[in-house]
């Protein structure tokens, strides 16, 4: 497209606000279109306003009042794509939640097994001490011994 400044008549040029209304877009979008070269800036004597020249094809393409079949098909395809992506992400989230539940269950089982192992080791140590006749003068209860053993193992 030609991006040179031209000198059209007043009837051919529109203000940015008028162009935005005609294209059914925001004024910011009209300025972006000016920067990208999709529409042309018109040179007018009024320095306070920006005037633009709209191509007839552009005003019809940008009009949201009369969407074309291509626009409608594009929107439907876009919606279908987004719906498929959403369904896929929902499926992935469901899998992650299920994995989290499985992992929590595994952690709980490991904690139980670790506790049982600590009790078994303490029992073995106590039996060995009794066999050797070195029973502790200040016996500790089983749960405090288990905690102490776990602290040593895992540096808690």
Identify whether residues 76 and 98 lie together within a single domain: yes
Host H or E run for residue 56: helix 56-62
42 found inside a domain: yes
Judge whether residue 98 has pLDDT over 90.
Answer: yes
Identify whether residues 145 and 100 lie together within a single domain: yes
The CA distance from 116 to 136, in Å, is 22
Judge whether residue 118 has pLDDT over 70.
Answer: yes
Q: Are 73 and 37 in contact (CB under 8 A)?
A: no
Judge whether residue 107 has pLDDT over 60.
Answer: yes
Q: Which pLDDT tens digit goes with each residue over 37-82?
A: 888 888 766 677 788 887 765 644 444 445 555 666 677 788 888 8
Identify whether residues 31 and 86 lie together within a single domain: no
Judge whether residue 106 has pLDDT over 90.
Answer: yes
Identify whether residues 96 and 149 lie together within a single domain: yes
What pLDDT score was predicted for residue 112? 87
Mean pLDDT of 90-100: 96
Judge whether residue 36 has pLDDT over 80.
Answer: yes
What pLDDT score was predicted for residue 61? 45
What pLDDT score was predicted for residue 10? 43
Identify whether residues 93 and 147 lie together within a single domain: yes
Domain range for 77: 70-132+139-154
The pTM of the whole model exceeds 0.75: no
Identify whether residues 23 and 92 lie together within a single domain: no
Q: Is 153 helix (H, G, I), strand (E, B) or coil?
A: helix
Q: How many domains does the chain have?
A: 2
């Amino acid at each position: 497209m030609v991006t040179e400044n031209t000198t059209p008549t007043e009837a051919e040029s529109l203000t940015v606000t008028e162009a935005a209304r005609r294209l059914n877009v925001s004024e910011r979008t009209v300025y972006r279109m000016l920067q990208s070269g999709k529409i042309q800036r018109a040179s007018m004597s009024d320095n306070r306003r920006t005037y633009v020249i709209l191509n007839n094809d552009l005003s019809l393409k940008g009009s949201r009042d009369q969407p074309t079949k291509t626009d409608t098909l594009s929107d439907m395809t876009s919606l279908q794509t987004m719906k498929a992506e959403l369904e896929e992400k929902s499926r992935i989230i469901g899998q992650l939640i299920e994995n989290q539940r499985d992992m929590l269950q595994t952690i709980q089982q490991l904690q139980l097994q670790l506790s049982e192992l600590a009790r078994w080791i303490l029992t073995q140590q106590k039996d060995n001490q009794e066999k050797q006749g070195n029973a502790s003068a200040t016996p500790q209860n089983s749960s405090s011994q288990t905690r102490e053993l776990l602290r040593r193992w895992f540096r808690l």
